[in-house]
Amino acid sequence: MTRLSVNINKIATIRNARGGKMPDVTAAAVNCEKFGAEGITVHPRPDERHIRYSDVRVIRPLITTEFNIEGNPIQSFMDLVLEVIPDQVTLVPDAADAITSNAGWDTVRNRSFLTEVCSEFRKKGIRTSIFIGADPRMAEGAALCGADRVELYTEPYADMYPTDPQAAVADFIKAAEAARECGLGLNAGHDLNLDNLEFFIRSIPWTDEVSIGHAIISDALYMGLEQTIKAYLSKVKIF
Domain 3-236 CATH (choose: 3.20.20.70, 3.90.1150.10, 3.40.50.970, 3.40.50.2000): 3.20.20.70
Q: How confident is the model at residue 97 (pLDDT cuts 50, 70, 90)?
A: low
Alpha-carbon distance of 3 to 214, in angstroms, equals 17
In the chain, what percentage of residues exceed pLDDT 90? 94
Cα–Cα distance, 122 to 129 (Å, whole number): 11
- Gap between the Cα atoms of 68 and 134, Å rounded: 21
pLDDT of residue 94: 78
pLDDT > 60? residue 98? no
**Per-residue pLDDT tens digits for 202-216:** 999 999 999 999 999
Residue range 144-169: mean pLDDT, rounded: 98
Q: What are phi and psi of 188, to 5 degrees?
A: -150, 150
Amino acid at 51: I
pLDDT tens, residue by residue, 131-150: 999 999 999 999 999 999 99
Measure the CA–CA gap between 183 and 197, rounded to whole angstroms: 24
3-state secondary structure of 193: coil
Residue 178: pLDDT over 80: yes
Listed residue (188, 231, 216) closest to 9, CA to CA: 216
Q: Parse the chain into domains and list their residue ranges.
A: 3-236
Residues labelled catalytic: 43, 70, 190
